[in-house]
Structures are given as C-alpha cells and as structure tokens.
Structure 1
Amino acid sequence: MTDLHIRAGGPADLDAVLAFWKVAAEGSSISDDGDGVARLVARDPEALLLAERGGELVGTVIAGFDGWRCHLYRLAVHPDHRRRGIGGALLTAAEERFGALGGRRGDAMVLDRNALAHHAWRAAGYAPEPQWSRWVKPLDA
C-alpha cells in the first residue's frame, strides 16, 4: 500500500470523479453531476477524498462534516483494485479528518441491496442501526 496516495479532490478532478463513479460506484445519485460535486468541493475543499495508485484514480469517499455530525458518501473502489485495502485506507483518512474537526460519530449512506458494501462497512467497524430509518425527499422535485 506504500504506492497508494490519498488526497483531497479539487475542481480539476470533477470530470474524472464522475466518470469513475459510473464504473466503480453501485447505483447512481441525483447529485452525481458536475454542478453538485463542484458545490461540494467549493463548500468543503477537503471533503472529497481520492485514492490514487500510480497516478490512476482507484477510489473515492466523500467525508462531509456539518459541524455536528460526520457523514460518509460515495465510498467506491474500482472493480480491478478491490480487496487490496483501498476502501479501508480511504475510511481511515476520512476518520482522521473527522477527528481533526472534532467529529465524534460517522454515519454512512449504504444501499440496502449492496451486500458487498455491507461486508466492507462491517469490516471497517460500522454497523446498521435498525432503530433508524432514512427518510428522503429530493429537493428538486
């Protein structure tokens, strides 16, 4: 893993990140567009974490902090690079970011149908909270 580099993504990375998610991320999101990701990076320049190996984008996670809670989105590892510790390295970097910001608890958006992701999140020490149900409303509806 010494050749793995994790860094914050910036405006110049947006097209590559969006193309990467089409290959590596399970499912799509209404916010997977250039404007949405650009707003994220403009508002919180350290939130989009990218994992690179040999200059190639191999993983992402969004580590958002709203001043109260820590939120994880879009943990994705390229299919050709899975099971090599990249997801864990991204989560470690996100948790270090949260700790530096004073965050005390991380929550993750994980699709119910993504069993592979459930395994990865459990391995990283995360667990579902059955007493909570996520309710959503698209704001552009």
Structure 2
Amino acid sequence: MTDLDIRHAGHPDIAAVLRFWREAAEGTSITDDDAGVAQLIARDPGALILAERDGRIAGTVIAGFDGWRCSVYRLAVHPDCRRQGIATALTDAAEQRFLALGGRRIDAMVLEANEQAHHTWGSAGYHREDHWRRWVKPL
C-alpha cells in the first residue's frame, strides 16, 4: 500500500487520535482521554502506531510491550477505509515492533461482540483462547 504512511504517534496527535477513536473504534476505555493517551506516549513512545493517508488518520493500533508480553489494543480502521489492507499493515507494524523488542507471543484485546474484528484477527493468524477471561478493576 504505497499511499499509506505508518508512523508512531506523538503528543501533537492526541486530539486527532481521540476524535478518530470516537468515530472508528468499537467500545470505549477509561483511558480514552488526553491524559491517558499522553501517558501512553510518554511511557512507550513507539506503542501507538498510526496509519495515515493524505495526512489523515486511517487506522490505529497500540502495540505495548512490558518486557514480558506483547499486547495489542485499539486496532481500528476508519469505516471509509476498511477492506483496503490497513489493518494488515498495522498488525504487521505491531508484529515487527515486537520482534525487534524480543517479544515471543502477542495477546490481542478483542471485544466479544465485534464479529468483524474476530474475522480480521483470524485472517491475520491469531486464534481465540477460550480458557482465559479478562478481569479488570478501575483505579
């Protein structure tokens, strides 16, 4: 995809990323605010990966690595840009990042009700592990 620019997000991108997620992402998170995204970028400047076309965000993925596990969140593609290889380009970028960092397995957070995402992740070679459940506690 030659017209797609894949890059890491910086602090100037925060407002645009939050607008993009409101339009393109499924679900919301307690950290979907300026402070949450700023903290992500400050803690791990390479984690938030953007796909841009013509200077506009077409997709995002968060590829976080804590030294133990590789975790993927917020794979989102703008509705007008779906089925054009953007999710594949973003997951490839995340996987390359993890390989460079020494990662060995990727966990992807996928909403249970998001059937379209299930197909996307399955097509990328990921499989569901039904014996795990996510447990959360807001701070």
Q: Normalising to structure 1: TM-score of the pair?
A: 0.97
Aligned position for 1:4: 4
Residue-by-residue CA offset, 1:78-108 (whole Å, 9 max, x unaligned): 0000000000100000000000000000001
**CA root-mean-square deviation:** 0.5
Does residue 38 in structure 1 map to residue 49 in structure 2?
Answer: no
2:80 counterpart residue number: 80
Determine the C-alpha separation between the residues in 1 that align with 2:137 and 2:121. 25
Amino acid at match of 2:102: G
CA distance in 1, matches of 2:85, 2:124: 11
Structure 2 counterpart of 1:26, one-letter code = E
> Partner of 1:97: helix, strand, or coil?
helix
**Deviation of residue 135 (structure 1)?**
1.0
One-letter amino acid matched to 1:44:
D
SS of the equivalent of 1:31 reads coil
Counterpart for residue 91 of structure 1: 91
Name the structure 2 match of 1:108: 108
How far, CA to CA, are the matches of 1:16 and 1:76 in structure 2? 14
Q: Which runs of 4+ in 1 moved over 3 A?
A: none
Unaligned runs of 5+ in 2: none
Runs of 5+ consecutive residues of structure 1 not aligned to the other structure: none
Cα distance between partner residues in 2 of 1:93 and 1:14: 20
Matched residue type, 1:101: L
TM-score when scaled to structure 2? 0.99
CA distance in 2, matches of 1:105, 1:125: 12
Query: Distance between the aligned counterparts of 2:133 and 2:39, measured in 1?
Result: 27
Q: How many residues align?
A: 139
Residue matched to 2:127: 127
Distance across 2 between alignment mates of 1:46 and 1:133: 27
SS at match of 1:107: strand
Matched, 1:68 2:73: no
Look up the match of 2:27: 27
